[in-house]
Amino acid sequence: SVEIVEDTSARLLSLLDQGRLDLAICRTSISRQPEHYDCIDVRDETLAVVANRDHPLAGRAQLELADLADSRWVVYSANMPMRLSLEREFQQAGLRFPLQLLETTSAFTTLSLLQKNPELVALLSTDVARFCTGFGMTCILPLSLKSRSEPYQLITRRGVSLSSISRLFMAQLTPQQDTP
């Protein structure tokens, strides 16, 4: 059987290390021992700033990060790749990183908080942001981000044999190589 676990890269790598997962889609950059893994880049991740459709800046044609500097942000935990990207954005803009943060590792919790409070903003993957916006749950704020997030990787433990179902799953997720 296939079990899908949603969590942070740190937690997924921990489960992988314990042998509780055969593979994970996450990032090894947060690992202290990235050499313990075999990795295949699966997809680049772009990021978007999202908010409740009734956010005071939702109707603007263009925003700068300074426009959101005093906003209350829903963010991932410290040292997680998406959080680091947001911190980099603030640093590159010469702005102080917000202090009163709401931290969560759950996309569902982030969306729930955005739904309940039109003053909040959050950084999500563009794929998730578009999905939620398509259903009218949020809006993507018109802010161009300069920093790039790391690509998602398909990660396995180095030297560990995979089950046939894991190999099949990997084949579905990895780009097919053209043969000459």
Task: Please state the domain extents for the chain.
Answer: 9-44+151-173, 47-140
* CB distance 40 to 167 below 8 Å: no
Cα 164 to Cα 41, 42, 157, 158, distances in angstroms = 21, 20, 15, 17
pTM (global) more than 0.75: yes
The pLDDT value given to residue 175 = 66
4 pLDDT above the threshold of 70? yes
Band (pLDDT 50/70/90 cuts) for residue 148 is confident
The tokens describing 93, both together, are 């803009």
β-pair type (72-75, 102-103): parallel
The pLDDT value given to residue 16 = 95
The pLDDT value given to residue 146 = 83
The tokens describing 109, both together, are 């919790």
Architecture of domain 47-140: 3-Layer(aba) Sandwich (3.40)
The pLDDT value given to residue 179 = 43
The pLDDT value given to residue 94 = 96
Q: Which amino acid is at 51?
A: A
The pLDDT value given to residue 77 = 85
Band (pLDDT 50/70/90 cuts) for residue 176 is low
Can you tell me the distance from the alpha carbon of 22 to that of 27, in angstroms, rounded to the nearest whole number? 15
Q: What is the dihedral of CA 15, 126, 178, 28, to 10 degrees?
A: -30
The pLDDT value given to residue 44 = 84
Q: What percent of the chain has pLDDT over 70?
A: 96
The tokens describing 14, both together, are 């921990």
The pLDDT value given to residue 142 = 96
